[in-house]
Chain A
Amino acid sequence: MTLHKAAEQRDIIDSPEETAHLARTWYSPRGFPGWFTQVNQRMIGKRFIITAFIFFLLAGILGLLMRLQLAAPEQQLLGPELYNQFFTMHGTVMMFFFAIPVMEGVAIYIVPLMVGTRDMAFPRLNAFGYYVYLIGGIVLFGSLLLGMAPNAGWFNYVPLAGKLYSPGYGVDVWTTMITFIEVSALTAAVELIVTILRMRAPGMSLNRMPLFVWAALVMSFMIVFAMPAVIVSSTLLILDRLVDTQFFIVESGGEPLLWQHLFWYFGHPEVYIILVPALGMISTIIITFTGRPIFGYTALVLSVVAIGFVSFGLWVHHMFTTGLPQLGMSFFTAASAMIAIPSGVQIFCWIASLWGAKIRFHTPMLWVLGFFAIFVIGGLTGVMVASIPFDTQVHDTFFVVAHFHYVLIGGAVFPLIGAVYYWWPKIIGRMMNETAGKWSFWLAFIGFNITFFPMHQLGLEGMPRRIYTYADEMGWGDLNMLATIGALVLAVGFGITLVNAIWSVSRGRPAGTNPWNAPTLEWATESPPASYNFRHIPVVESRWPLWDWQRQDERRVVTGLRNDRREVVLTSVLDASPVGVQVLPGPSIWPFASAVAASTGFIGIIFHPIFFVIGFFLVFFSLVAWFWPRRPWRND
């Protein structure tokens, strides 16, 4: 494809009037009513990120309270009812209301900038997904305040989660909130896939796509194929609870194990849905702070894709103690061990890239280096629990608690915080404080290891998960006390970043366009970006466009998009040659209205099945209003 279509390489001079016109076209309404009509991807992404971190904070506080309860044997801070609600909420919120939405939020904010476009493919759907998520999260925490939070664990095994053993609204709230998250995650996933495949800047062929965009793409496909399993399982569970179906009732031919299969068929990829975007963040940060192209771009892409595929073949390793046949389960041992290869390839591609580089040890880089130490341990314990005999000893003990916190916090949260430090200047326009950032990292790193490393030992010494108390003579007291102290240090570490972020909004040093000298397109526009993201859609000729431009002291762009309405370039899937122009919709109240309509239905069915019908028609009418073509009908 030749991109240089314009006859002579015309220099582009922008008039301030045209730029102002473009800014007005993409302007997001402000003020209270405006808040409900914004659709620009950066607004939605920012809201996803902030909301998710608020849930992270709340669920973290629940985790701290649990740690205080377990700090010493026979403590009396929390009773069994409260403790069971807390660990259920902690798991549910961290997995569904923090980890997925925050990764999606970062992707929603960063991906369109990274691929050089002005918004996402379906801006209103984006807004809809956010409102559904917000309403779901508020209702879930509301249930905790009302003392009717779910308490059957984030995995909700039946029959315990059935009506007979969990009466009351708790599990109903859980299933309903999961539906909210399914809807929100799936809309974001489809949105990201279409944006990545069809709206990349001209010239950004698949093999020039930034690694974070690859990771977001794989994450989105995984959401698309994993979520349906939990859609079906949570539907069957809520039907059992609300209208007395018999899916999981043994006496009527139901099968509790069906729940476990469906839940883990979703639940295992879920872990990798969280991990994969973090891998993309790591690559991004390493490239920038080593200041040179990464080694093994293709290997890194193939590894992420391979992790995505293999993660769908691991779910039974959560069920090694259920009495399934050994031989069949051994397949899952092999598959689980095989995931070590793509992980190993990634880690050593990064090490090769770091080798002998002039690394700038800024805060984002520290969090990434912290990732290595923690994730390697988490990955190795992961291989251990893939062994059926070993798993029968450590399954459902604190060993597993330690393992998945090493994977999830080390593998996902550390890179995420690094990414926050990295992209914060772009999002806010100001730098976060470096000294505070380094303190935050070291406290979190040390606190994390003090908290979770002893848990390996506790698990081997026979301490099961999900117990609210234990007797003194079990001998678990000292290590638990240590873990609790570590948790407080970890909390202080994260807390410093929170304060740092808030402080930087008004006081941070102005960031400028590209403070880290990074090579990807999000750094080609102002910080924070103007309403239209890019004054001109850039044209890309390599994987590192900004470094090219610096070297050549010139860059090429797309012209011919109108200023008076929201236009973006559509490009072909493989080589990103321009194929058309899409006119995107602007602000609208209907996504919010539809989210309210859907929520009415979802929440209502907890109380009466008729709300299914009411919700169906409310959503239908709001969608008609959403999509109804307004006159004058567009003719060009």
Chain B
Amino acid sequence: MIPGTRSRAIVILGAGIATLLSGCSGSQSALNPAGSAADLIARLWWPTLVVASLVTMLVLALLLVAIFRAHKKGAALPLSARQSRNLVIACGIILPLAATIPFALSSFSIGREIDAPLPDGALTVEVVGKLWWWEVHYLDETGGRIATTANEIHIPVNEPVRFLLKSDNVIHSFWVPNLQGKTDMMPGRTNVTSVTANQPGIYRGQCAEYCGTQHALMAFLLVAEEPEAFEAWLEGQRQPAMEPATAQEMLGREVFLNEDCADCHAIRGTSAEGQDGPDLTHIASRRTLAAATTPNRIGHLGGWITDPQHIKPGNQMPSTELSPANLQALLSYLGSLE
């Protein structure tokens, strides 16, 4: 790779999602639970940590006593065979059993609780792992797709949401640490997980199964919002793209349809029906670009279109050469797709 490429990538990354997740280092942390599953797991974690620390200290304390006993007394002071046997039985057999059996049982019951079946009629979202981004479909009761977007998932807060996880390429893993543990997206299978967000917020999710070159920059945002806000958002996403309002935007749409963009991207309501890249019908409503790699601002979008390999080396979007006027028009058009 050319050195310059990287430095550019860095600059853009750096300016990146900072503003979105500003200073909130807990936005992708299992220790900062905001969802039911993550909460249960965190409640398993803390007592486990305490017990494990105690066990570690006990073993090390016994070890220190063992090795320094003779030093202090100046003569060997071995345990009798009977004492040794009791030590091994108490600490080597009973202690591990006493520590692991309750742990295994509570882990089992938490697992069952997390896996409990969802109520009928729960909102269902289908997420398809792509190289290296996330395609998101909202489904109706019959499983029909009512809206399609990418890399940004909205859900209503305090409601269990069913996620159908798929992949049509390699294995990915769907994971929002603040809300739930990860579930793999296996080609040829549909895995199901449920997410219940207990607090409104923007949570970051990231692919957790190594999936090739840009595994590192395959993230997404999960926006948990009040039900009314969510309904309004979903209603917006269901609509076809807005018609251009200005001549500039009109030209932008022409550019989009005539350049190679439409081969890979769809904008519902236009003749652009490409399926290889993210659906752009409401791109302006999203917070990030390139699978939560950079914020969705006009400057970043321009940089992404003209040279995506600088921002995310190895990704599948080719660079597009446009005259400055056409680029401006395209950016205004895409910027209008709320």
A residues whose Cβ falls under 8 Å from a Cβ of B: 73-76, 79-82, 84, 152-153, 157, 159-160, 165-166, 250-251, 255-257, 292, 295-296, 299, 321-323, 326, 330, 333-334, 337-338, 340-341, 343-349, 351-359, 369, 372-373, 376-377, 380-381, 383-384, 386-397, 460-462, 464-475
Q: Which of B6-14, B144-152, B275-283, B318-326 contacts A (4 or more CB under 8 A)?
A: B6-14
Cβ 8 A contact of A472, one of B14, B55, B63, B85? B14
Of listed A299, A322, A344, A345, residue having the most chain B CB within 10 A: A344
Q: Indicate if B264 sits at the interface (CB-CB under 8 A).
A: no
Q: Mark B174-190, 1 if CB is under 8 A from A, else 0.
A: 01010011111011110
Q: Across the interface, do B44 and A389 meet the contact criterion of CB distance under 8 Å? A: yes
Task: Tell me the minimal C-beta distance from A113 to chain B in angstroms.
Answer: 29
Q: Across the interface, do A373 and B60 meet the contact criterion of CB distance under 8 Å? A: yes
Cβ 8 A contact of A376, one of B48, B56, B215? B56
**What are the residues of chain A within 8 A of B182 when measuring CB–CB?**
321, 392-393, 395-396
Of listed A84, A165, A351, A369, residue having the most chain B CB within 10 A: A351
| Interface CB pairs A-B, < 8 A, 10 | A76-B9, A256-B186, A351-B66, A352-B66, A352-B83, A359-B71, A388-B108, A389-B114, A390-B45, A460-B31
Cβ 8 A contact of B52, one of A348, A384, A471, A475? A384
**What are the residues of chain B within 8 A of A346 when measuring CB–CB?**
92
Q: Across the interface, do B67 and A84 meet the contact criterion of CB distance under 8 Å? A: no
**What are the residues of chain A within 8 A of B93 when measuring CB–CB?**
341, 344-345
**What are the residues of chain B within 8 A of A381 when measuring CB–CB?**
52
Q: Across the interface, do B79 and A321 meet the contact criterion of CB distance under 8 Å? A: no
Q: Across the interface, do B88 and A296 meet the contact criterion of CB distance under 8 Å? A: yes
Cβ 8 A contact of A340, one of B6, B96, B217? B96
- Given A388-B111, A390-B41: A380 in contact with B52 (beta carbons within 8 A): yes
Cβ 8 A contact of B104, one of A326, A372, A387, A474? A387
Q: Across the interface, do B97 and A341 meet the contact criterion of CB distance under 8 Å? A: yes
Q: Across the interface, do A461 and B208 meet the contact criterion of CB distance under 8 Å? A: no
Q: Across the interface, do B206 and A372 meet the contact criterion of CB distance under 8 Å? A: no
Q: Across the interface, do B103 and A387 meet the contact criterion of CB distance under 8 Å? A: yes
Q: Which of B17-25, B231-239, B250-258, B299-307 contacts A (4 or more CB under 8 A)?
A: B17-25
Q: Across the interface, do A165 and B67 meet the contact criterion of CB distance under 8 Å? A: no
Q: Indicate if B91 sits at the interface (CB-CB under 8 A).
A: yes
Q: Which of B187-222 contact A (CB under 8 A)?
A: 187-189, 191-192, 204, 206-217
- Given A159-B187, A389-B44, A461-B29: A356 in contact with B23 (beta carbons within 8 A): no
Q: Indicate if B59 sits at the interface (CB-CB under 8 A).
A: yes
Q: Across the interface, do A461 and B31 meet the contact criterion of CB distance under 8 Å? A: yes
- With A76-B6, A347-B59, A387-B103 given, can you name 12 additional A-B contacts, CB distance below 8 Å? A73-B14, A80-B216, A81-B314, A340-B96, A343-B96, A344-B91, A352-B88, A384-B52, A393-B177, A470-B216, A471-B18, A474-B25
Q: Indicate if B124 sits at the interface (CB-CB under 8 A).
A: no
Q: Across the interface, do A159 and B184 meet the contact criterion of CB distance under 8 Å? A: no
Q: Across the interface, do B212 and A165 meet the contact criterion of CB distance under 8 Å? A: yes
Give the CA-CA distance A152 to B81 in the complex, in Å: 52
Q: Across the interface, do A74 and B10 meet the contact criterion of CB distance under 8 Å? A: yes
Q: Across the interface, do B88 and A389 meet the contact criterion of CB distance under 8 Å? A: no
Q: Across the interface, do A372 and B207 meet the contact criterion of CB distance under 8 Å? A: no
Q: Indicate if B169 sits at the interface (CB-CB under 8 A).
A: yes
Q: Across the interface, do B183 and A392 meet the contact criterion of CB distance under 8 Å? A: yes
Of listed A159, A343, A369, A473, residue having the most chain B CB within 10 A: A473
In chain B, what residue has the closest Cβ to A477? B25
Task: Tell me the minimal C-beta distance from B192 to chain A in angstroms.
Answer: 8
**What are the residues of chain A within 8 A of B92 when measuring CB–CB?**
341, 344-349
Q: Indicate if B242 sits at the interface (CB-CB under 8 A).
A: no
Q: Indicate if B118 sits at the interface (CB-CB under 8 A).
A: no
Q: Across the interface, do A357 and B110 meet the contact criterion of CB distance under 8 Å? A: no
